[in-house]
Amino acid sequence: MRLIDRSDTSLAIALVASALVIFQRPLRLLLDAAHLIELRYDIDLLPGLCVLVGTFVFHEYTKRQHARAAATAASREAALAQARSTELERLVTFGRALGSALDTSAARQVFWRFMPGFAGDRAFWMLTRRHDGWDSPVYDATRLERWTVDALEATAVRALSGMAANSGREVDGIVIDGDFCVPLVVGEHAVGVLGVRNHPPMAESERSALGAAAALLAIAIRNAQLIAQTRESSVRDGLTGCFNRAYALEALKAEIQRARRTRRPLSVLMFDVDEFKAINDRHGHLAGDAVLAAIGARLASMLRATDVKCRYGGDEFIVILPDTVLSGAEHVASTLLDTLSTLRVSVGATVLSTTISIGVTMLQPGETEPSTVIGRADAALYRAKRSGRNQFATVELAAAG
């Protein structure tokens, strides 16, 4: 602690003046003695003492300045070390949170929770890519009120274009329309763009920290996408694009539970291709595969997104219709009959047409097992076949459509 600082200059002057007054007689005696020594020995004692005192004072002043500069540098270095430690801790915490995010939705939530620590008091946003465009953006609409989704997507496209233009060079980010944009890239895959409003301008250390956070975020999003693709492949039938049998049973069980909980209707269709074995025998299994693939594509285009389309096995399909009463399911069955009867599949020089038979059923009160519902739909399907094919039937009504 300093006894006297810059604000006490007048006090210091007063102390010096008082000391001179108090010690003026001893000082005078000392100076007289020095003068006598100079006369006796013919030397310049006082000038030498003045030089010595001046040199000593200057030396001490220089040492003090150096010590002060060293202390300032040490303090600055300590502050930088503390900032780096805080930044590293923030990155580690961010990385751990992202490590538990196994889908893009969870990764977006982690981004929303942690990004204010990297952006400071600046507005920020993120767009992630999918195969056919962009996912909905993550941004604070109250702070980016002038931005539209189209404007954010245009900025993201420009950021990725800038990255492509700088291919082969290290690029941390690019400023576009006042936003510091960092492409989210893993290897050769661009999974999105992160943007932070560059006002006030970001310091180099802030850009570096944001770049590190963006790298962690990109890896997490890419991993989530790969997990989703792997899961999708595991539950999809590669030939028809419909869900497979295992997923059909899982989805039907979940829909039964939901229907019982919400007391909403649930219907199920089961159908197969009429004379499918004859198609394989006459035209080969590749022709049969082409027919099944065409049916899968037609189902995807004509049914609701909430309807679950599944290949149950061979040429058998199941369609789960949530929130659909029996009459509605019969209407869907009738539409399927009309649509698939017009389906034409070219196999070499041969054009194949086909029909289907459909069993229709609805979840009954008290039912909890998928096998019960599927068994009833299967029975209705074979009733339709016995009645002449190319039609639908229900177990409850025991009648063809």
Burial 68-92 (b: 16+ CB within 10 A, else e): eeeeeeeeeeeeeeeeeeebeebbe
User: Which residue out of 315, 323, 338, 378 is catalytically annotated?
Assistant: 315
State how beta strands 392-394 and 356-362 pair: parallel
Write the DSSP assignment of 257-291 as a string of letters. HHHHHHT--EEEEEEEETTHHHHHHHH-HHHHHHH
3-state SS string for 94-148: HHHHHHCCCCHHHHHHHHHHHHHHHHCCCCEEEEEEECCEECCCEECCCCCCCCC
- Sequence letter at residue 276: F
Verify whether residue 315 is a known catalytic residue: yes
Inter-residue contact 400 to 375 (CB < 8 Å): no
Helix (H, G, I), strand (E, B) or coil at 166: coil
299 CB neighbour count, 10 Å cutoff: 21
Separation CA 358–CA 382 (nearest Å): 8
- Sequence letter at residue 90: R
Q: What is the largest CA-CA distance in the chain?
A: 147
Q: Which residue has the tokens 């999708």?
A: 232
Inter-residue contact 147 to 139 (CB < 8 Å): yes
Helix ranges, 303-344 (H): 326-341
Which residues participate in catalysis according to the annotation?
A: 315
